[in-house]
Structure 1
């Protein structure tokens, strides 16, 4: 779950009713059949339920996982695209779903209400891994090499004109150049815009920091195009693996004071399932080690911008990596 997703209780009821009533059904279609190179079937006889959150990246990760594990011989039930942010998590906690891609920042802040900022991705993963294993017998496998967190973007021409690549360099600009576009949720979050400005020494609604008139609040989707045009703002709130970052040629500014919590993508497996099928560690690790910010931007863009089906994007990527045939 990305930091922008809200917890919707009704979604939990919806998915659990679906699980208990008519079986597990994907809200975004099915995955494509394939086999491993050489016909290996290390999961032959295994029965697995793969779920995901409903936003593009979550669905893609679910489709990649379902396709690959089915190619490895498992009988996979596809529950990708579960509505809301809580439904897939609750399905896994209830034992109705086995595998779910999560984010370390979500586990730390949303699921365990922690307020300590741990900027080191590996340390944060270890803390989340330990508490989730203890509290819920969920195994958070080693994280992938992508971090889907908040950041600020700027168009390439504006980055060159202003000479900025880091948030500290933005803070050093003249007040007139410190203009921002953000959505309402990020503006009001306790770990969002206003505390971030404070961290960088340019407090909100301060004539020497960021005057209120320098901030435009708008829908999150519009922020990207506004930032690409550098109007009405030079800097816009983005998500680091969003396909529009690459499509619009935005520069992701370095959060050099480490304000934002890491949201490393991580495959989470129920403990009894990983014990029953320990080969999942290797199989899911094979996927994780290949996933980067640049790759997720590309795959997300193929769905959100080019309109491709997530199942096809997942299949094509696995095939391009020679993981399936």
Structure 2
């Protein structure tokens, strides 16, 4: 194998090898090769070991594999630690050094890890707040944030949006104030009662939460229920691939009520300082990611049943960041 084509482990079979300290599993499988793409330089991380982690849901796995593909093409020796169960376990693995790099979300960092109760409404300001606080308190470095913002929103069918001229959550609030019978919502149990959920939305946007009809669903079934007309408004996550697959329209949170959850690469400061080229290599990849892009990639996994590692690799090839060896 040449210096420009490095082996990348793809999620398929677990050997049972445990990483130190956390009981995390390293995944090995039949590898595929990638080389620098048409818009990337020759390898700059030749032989550098990088343990890449992710949480155990589709989007974070795809993002983890995107980092693995990019760094593999740059010459790094990747240890695949994707699919860690739970945010807290992933965070702990980063703090203890079981992983060197992972993607996290600014709202999660600010609220769940750093213990703040009030989110920062602006994306950039939220990122800067968590970046500065986490570096000072925990010596974790958040790289530049992406436009991928996996936050809450309400979705409707395209037909319902067009019939009622709906583009924003303010439009939704005006409609249910004027026509309460159209206020039929599919919500998760927890979202119904949380202050940063439905009661808070109603207060912020000025409609009566008790005057509308609420149906309780699991998060995975809300998308289908909304698309089939079981409700007019469904609580969704803005980057979910089912939005695209079911042709739903996401209403803009124009008053910025929901916390901002921009996906960002996080590393220990010591590791980032020792390998500054990682940030350089990942910067153009991060800049290319947005909600529309990640929805499509998520849908390839959740709707089409493709492997997240292969989805990540193929996107990187299409964008010219990496190439398949000839």
TM-score, with length taken from structure 1:
0.89
Q: Report the Cα distance in structure 2 between the residues aligned to 1:308 and 1:272, rounded to whole angstroms.
A: 36
Cα distance change on mapping 1:134 and 1:153 into 2, 3 Å: same
The residue number in structure 2 matching 1:250 is 248
Aligned residue in 1 for 2:207? 202
The structure in which a higher percent of residues are strand is 2
Aligned twin of 2:262: 264
Q: Distance in 1 between matches of 2:182 and 2:234?
A: 13
Instruction: Tell me the distance in 1 between the aligned counterparts of 2:252 and 2:160.
Output: 15
CA contact (8 A) 2:297 2:311 kept: yes
The residue number in structure 1 matching 2:18 is 18
> Matched residue pairs, number?
302
Give the root-mean-square deviation of aligned CA atoms: 1.9
1:185 maps onto 2:190 in alignment? yes
CA contact under 8 A between 1:178 and 1:234: conserved in structure 2?
yes
- Using a 3 Å threshold, how does the CA distance of structure 1 residues 155 and 67 change in structure 2: closer, same or farther? same
Give 1:65 shift: 0.6
Cα deviations by residue, 1:152-178 (Å, 9 ceiling, x for unpaired): 000000111122111111111111111
Given the superposition, is the C-alpha separation of residues 127 and 22 from structure 1 closer, same or farther in structure 2, using an over 3 Å criterion?
closer
Structure 2 CA distance for partners of 1:92 and 1:60, relative to 1, 3 Å: same
Partner of 1:33: 33
What corresponds to 1:236 in structure 2?
Answer: 234
Contact 2:157 2:247 (C-alpha < 8 Å) held by counterparts: yes
Output the CA distance in 2 between the equivalents of 1:77 and 1:40: 21
* Structure 2: stretches of 5+ with no match in the other structure: 1-16
The CA deviation at 1:18 is 3.5
C-alpha displacement at 1:21, in angstroms?
7.0
Shift of 1:27: 5.7
- Give the distance between the partners of 2:103 and 2:109, measured in 1 at CA: 11
| Mapped contact 2:19–2:26 kept (Cα < 8 A) | no
Counterpart for residue 175 of structure 1 = 180
Instruction: Kindly state the Cα deviation for residue 28 of structure 1 after the two structures are TM-superposed.
Output: 9.1
2:95 and 2:301 map into 1 onto residues whose CA distance is 29
Q: Is the 8 A contact 1:32 1:311 kept in 2?
A: no
Q: TM-score, normalised by structure 2?
A: 0.88
CA distance in 2, matches of 1:287, 1:23: 31
CA offsets 1:196-242 (integer angstroms, 9 cap, x no match): 1111111322x4xx3xxx000111111101111222x1000011110
CA gap of 1:65–1:163, structure 2 versus 1, over 3 A, is same
User: What residue number does 1:224 align with?
Assistant: 223
- Secondary structure of 1:131 counterpart: helix
- Counterparts in 2 of 1:120-135, with a 5 A limit? 120-135=122-137
Q: Could you tell me how far 1:30 is from its partner in structure 2? A: 7.4
1:189 positional shift: 2.7
> Aligned partners of 2:314 and 2:236: how far apart in 1?
27
**Residues of 1 paired with 2:30 and 2:135: CA distance?**
30
Cα distance change of structure 1 residues 215 and 28 upon mapping to structure 2, 3 Å threshold: farther
Instruction: Say whether the 8 Å CA contact 2:119–2:260 is kept in structure 1.
Output: no
**Residue 276 of structure 2 corresponds to residue 278 of structure 1:** yes
> Structure 1 residue 29: deviation in Å?
5.9
Q: What is the distance in 1 between the residues matched to 2:102 and 2:46?
A: 20
